[in-house]
Amino acid sequence: MSERKVSVERKRYALPEPFVVLATQNPIEYQGTFPLPESQLDRFLMALELGYPDAAAERELLAGGDRRARIAELAPLADAPTLIEWQREAAALHVAPALLDYVQALLAASRGHQSGAGTADTGARRGLSPRAGLMLLNAARAWALVGGRPMVLPEDVQAVFPAVASHRLAGGARAGALTAQTLLRSVPLP
């Protein structure tokens, strides 16, 4: 996907700008479900667990019939040029050197390296890659943009860190979410 092309029957097609890939994952406990290799997991920006709807939302879902038919009724909230402009705006947000130090400390702590406060024993068997750090900064920039800020704050990094890190840490998204929280607690704020 980073090539922005797909191949179908040996023919290559360019993907439009912007494009997004969404995937669903069955729990690993399901028969016939196998974990993705680390190299593939690292290419997903985030892993989000939606959980179950509350009783009222579930009732509305059950009474509403086929939801796929309602897709045609949805109005877009933004067009492609607007999304591209938002991406440019997010990429241009300021990230202070101290915040880069903080992101590096989170990455190092995930790998069991020494941080400023000592070794973080997170229980992670594998640490976060440099790609994870880049994705974390991209997501934090987007979070700051949505919050109307001209710069990325530590709170922006903390807000997106579990979703960006959990699937990249050993033990799957649920175990990774706990490890991500442990990492956030173990690394001091800048």
Which residue intervals of the chain are DSSP H helices?
Answer: 38-41, 55-63, 80-91, 97-110, 130-146, 154-165, 172-186
Does residue 73 surpass a pLDDT of 90?
Answer: no
Of 99 and 62, more confident: 99
The structural architecture, per CATH, of the domain 5-186 is: Orthogonal Bundle (1.10)
Q: Are residues 110 and 183 in contact, defined by beta-carbon separation less than 8 angstroms?
A: yes
Q: Can you give the pLDDT at residue 118?
A: 43
C-alpha span between 102 and 170 (Å, rounded): 22
* Residue 116, token pair as written in the block: 């400023």
Does 114 or 5 have the greater pLDDT score?
A: 5
Q: What pLDDT score does 115 carry?
A: 43
Across the range 38-44, mean pLDDT stands at 77
- Statement: residue 83 has pLDDT above 70: yes
Mean pLDDT computed over 130-139: 95
